[in-house]
Structure 1
Amino acid sequence: MDLSQIAESIQRDAVSVVFVNVLLQQVGLPVPAVPTLLVAGSLAAGFGQVGAMLAAAVLASVVADWLWYLSGRQFGYRVLSSLCRLSINPASCVTQTEARFMRWGLWSLVVAKFVPGFSTVAPPIAGSLRMPLPGFLLAAGAGAALWAGGAILAGWWLRDELQEALAVMSRQGTTVIVVVAGAVAGWLAWKLWQRYRFEKLAAIPHVTPLELMEALASETPPLLLDLRSAAMVAETGPIAGARAADVEKLLDAVGDWPHERPVVTMCACPADATAVRAARVLNELGFVAVRPLKGGYDAWIAANRPI
């Protein structure tokens, strides 16, 4: 099927195509929706159809966000951790995404659609933080309307240029495929490079749960730094003997700690991402013996430590 046939299919049932495409993208599948919105807008017969497309896009987006909100409300931080494990770059973990949400508040749901990687995690964060459902739906709907409406209207206003571009691409089908494949390959290579760079940074000595238990029972126990998110600490409770900290404000948390004492960092992130990052920062601050806990909070729970 060439591009002209695809355009004809969109024009024939534009509202349904927009709804399904947006729904699939917003539930987390790697299906781009903006190109469909642009093409659908350029093929609209009038403002009535533009309005119907926009309504379909907003409805699909809000339905997907509502489902993620319910999952976050039901399962809490575990949903966020699972989402982050699907990321090519595990450094973008729960603590960082939730910190962004806490900083922006309700507005984060309005701008989430415009921030790559944040659109899917914002709704379950809102659910885990018990954001009131009416406010959540209102903010999610406003964000979806701005995002989808901008793309559809851009397609409508630039319909002549887009139709001409589609005609050119249809005639140059092989070239378009090569260019798109090259762009996708470049993006994937960049993401894999980010993962490789993180794995190199993460290649520092870790402490196992058993080693930590033995060290805590010794005469000179290590200092324990809890880097879990504020919402997770509130949900599961603080850890006895640990000091809670924000990775962005480490010096505020450890300013009174002696640099020669051993320090163990703990987080609830895939690949211990935040704990590794904090260990690197503490080393730069002059702490001589800092190690992340291997397996993080899950390993701590498995070791049956009191909370």
Structure 2
Amino acid sequence: MAYLFHLIEQYGLAILFFNVLVEQLGAPVPAYPTLVITGALMHRGEYSAPVLLLTAVVAALIADFAWYLARRRYGRKVLATLCRISLSPDSCVRQTESIYSRWGARSLLPAKFIPGFASIASALAGTVGTKRATFILYDGIGAALWAGLGIYLGSLFSTTVDDLLNVLTQLGQYGMILIAVGFSVFVASKWWQRRRLRLSLRMARISVAELNALLQHGMRSAIVDVRSPAAQQIGRIPGARTISHHEINSFVPDAPMDQEVIVYCACPNETSAAIVAKQLMRKGYKKVRPLSGGIDAWIAAGYAIDA
């Protein structure tokens, strides 16, 4: 344990840089403990505040700019990848799209304080055409606020942090085990939350081929598009009704209770669509199914879309 803290004392800037970098790239490795510890060491005079802040901000900007460029090149596949590696629920995609559609680049200021938001917001910025200079400005300020608070807290509570580090050092290998157990519990709890969400949303899906066949045969189905306004710009399935983020919890389709309702989104595992489908079923609708693969699968199959 003493060796670990010796490393932090000797190579704190490098450890801080890589910790912030991998966290902002989407790995479940919290960087705030490192920010707090290096902030406490700064209080001892081992680091300067501007150097610590610059190190953290540069690392965050590199990771965020990578997602910004990736979304411009690879499109919605980037969002799917983000939600697969993230331990946050998949519904973060729609929530982030709604927030970014409303506030634009300004939403990057508090982004890093919201779990699961920062990487997706960076990717969205690349999609909607946010200028690079604007993105770097707002993302840099947001990163400075986020990192600065962690460093400040470490400096403010440096005595408490020192006492904690001393206790862990005295525990030796048991201190390392304690940290490992704490990290494992954190990751496991996030994984379990995500698993519970997926299990709660298990239900029958309809394939894009089935839906297209229904439309071709003139069968009546209520089709509901629950994507954000930004996502709806690529087009929608013919005859679909769009609903806003605020309508999700209260939406009731203008259709008989026994009529089939198809709900689709553009998020991994059809999470937003499944949430709305579950709500409609609780309200009495008997035939409600999310569209498997959502709008991306529909477009990939070559079926028609309305502007």
TM-score, length-scaled by structure 2: 0.87
Aligned residue pair count: 304
Query: What residue in structure 2 maps to residue 281 of structure 1?
Result: 279
Query: What residue in structure 1 maps to residue 200 of structure 2?
Result: 201
Q: Does 1:298 align with 2:292?
A: no
Unaligned runs of at least 5 residues, structure 1 = none
Q: Does 1:160 align with 2:159?
A: yes
**Contact persistence 1:93–1:273 (CA under 8 A):** no
Residue 78 to residue 157, structure 1, CA distance change in 2 (3 Å): same
User: 2 CA distance for matches of 1:25 and 1:193?
Assistant: 20
Which stretch has the larger CA shift, 251-260 or 240-249? 251-260
CA RMSD of aligned residues (A): 2.6
Query: What residue in structure 2 maps to residue 126 of structure 1?
Result: 125
**Contact persistence 1:169–1:176 (CA under 8 A):** yes
What is the SS of the residue equivalent to 1:120? helix
Residue 78 to residue 246, structure 1, CA distance change in 2 (3 Å): farther
Q: Deviations over 1:274-293 (max 9, x none)?
A: 11111112223333321111
**Contact persistence 1:265–1:279 (CA under 8 A):** yes
Report the CA distance between 1:83 and its aligned residue: 0.7
User: 1 CA distance for matches of 2:223 and 2:71?
Assistant: 28
Q: Deviations over 1:101-153 (max 9, x none)?
A: 33444342111111122222221112112122222212111111111111112
Residue 242 to residue 27, structure 1, CA distance change in 2 (3 Å): same
Query: What residue in structure 2 maps to residue 191 of structure 1?
Result: 190
Unaligned runs of at least 5 residues, structure 2 = none
Query: What residue in structure 1 maps to residue 169 of structure 2?
Result: 170
Residue 130 to residue 254, structure 1, CA distance change in 2 (3 Å): farther
**Contact persistence 1:99–1:229 (CA under 8 A):** yes
Report the CA distance between 1:273 and its aligned residue: 0.9
Correspondences of 1:15-164 after superposition (within 5 Å): 15-44=13-42, 46=45, 49-88=48-87, 90-164=89-163
User: 2 CA distance for matches of 1:60 and 1:77?
Assistant: 24
User: 2 CA distance for matches of 1:210 and 1:283?
Assistant: 23
What is the SS of the residue equivalent to 1:265? strand
Query: What residue in structure 1 maps to residue 238 of structure 2?
Result: 240
Q: 2:257 aligns with which of 253, 256, 259?
A: 259
User: 2 CA distance for matches of 1:200 and 1:79?
Assistant: 24
User: 1 CA distance for matches of 2:86 and 2:192?
Assistant: 13
Q: Deviations over 1:86-113 (max 9, x none)?
A: 2345543422331233344434211111
User: 2 CA distance for matches of 1:20 and 1:193?
Assistant: 27
What is the SS of the residue equivalent to 2:110? helix
- What fraction of aligned residue pairs are identical, expressed as a percent? 38
- Post-superposition, which runs of at least 4 consecutive aligned residues in structure 1 deviate over 4 A? 250-255
Which stretch has the larger CA shift, 135-144 or 158-167? 158-167
